[in-house]
Amino acid sequence: MDNPYGYTEKEVFDMTEEGTVVHQFTLVNANGLMMKVLTYGGIIREFWVPSKDGDFIDVVLGYDTLNEYEHNSGYLGMIIGRYANRIANGQFEIDGIRYQLAMNEKAKHNALHGGYRGFFKKVWKGSASITPQGPQLTLKYTSHDGDEGYPGTLDTTVVYTLTNDNELRIDYTATTDKPTIVNLTQHTYFNLRGDGKIYDHTIILNADKYTPVNENLIPTGEVLPVENTPFDLRNETKMGEGIEKLKDSVTKGYDNNFVLNSDFVAKVHEPDKGITMEVYTTQPGVQFYTGNNLTGVKGKKGRIYDPHTGFCLETQHFPNSPNHTNFPNVVLRPGELYKHSTIFKFL
């Protein structure tokens, strides 16, 4: 490697059905960690980290082709915006003005993850560079006023840095020309074993409270203690044991927002490969999701993704925050800067 900080590559991956060229960027850090990212949806397609035996394992779920991503309903590896998670009835108010969003989760009467063609289905402008911290990919997208019902033109930048401390650092910034709501996240499904179920993964999740949901997976507005519930993950817990406790719930596993105690979010360990991942964020919450809705999905290299073959830790503001005054504010106004960071650190 010529550069001690790592290297990057850019190639044409494919073309969308609408005829837009999609590029794939490869980032490799000084220790050999490698990630492949598409300009379509900012998708993290591959992420290779070393196991305890020194073999590199691809620890993210994904697809082989762009066509599969274009028809993907699971948001595998994608940037989510303008608003991650759910908004009840797709409605909210700012300054007395009521807005109606695209209702793309009709069975539950919700707007979900930014609409039918949210940020996950947009082709972003990408540019790579090498920094002293490691290789970096900058992605930019402008969402115009009225896009999926959201007010204001939103200029968004997402920066992926594959640091030489074996971290994936994600920096989100956004500005608007009209009051709007913003809640950005990354929807990568991890499996630290590389395949199979996630039941033997252990998790520590640093949250004393969570936001319970109704039958439509919308928060009730309550913020309740996790103590003496299946949501108490403050001590190391096998994911399979927690999922079993929730098998008869409305979510069929974890699909819940946790109220974080600090910038340390979670620690996940997979004993077979010996891979550990820690998560840190500036966001107030995280959606812990155990892939309950994956059913017979054909993924990379012919693998079949079924329930509980991957998990997500989607750092975020809370679901339906615009309609709960006791939840953290998600309104962005002209002159303000939306700015958040999340780190996935591999040990």
Q: Which two tokens stand for residue 96?
A: 């007395």
Q: Which two tokens stand for residue 258?
A: 């946790």
The helix (H) or strand (E) run that includes residue 257 is strand 255-260
From the list 23, 187, 317, 324, the catalytic residue is 187
Q: Is 314 a catalytic residue?
A: yes
Residue type, 263: D
Residue type, 232: D
State the Cα–Cα distance between residues 271 and 228, nearest whole angstrom. 26
User: What DSSP letter does each residue of 68-115 carry, written as one string?
Assistant: HHHT-SS-TT-EE-SB-SEEETTEEEETTEEEE----BGGGTEEETTS
Look-up of token digits 């990919």: 137
Task: Classify residue 67 by its DSSP letter.
Answer: H
Residue type, 95: D
Q: How many C-beta neighbours within 10 Å does residue 204 have?
A: 16
Residue type, 54: G
From the list 113, 314, 317, 324, the catalytic residue is 314
Residues designated as active site: 187, 314
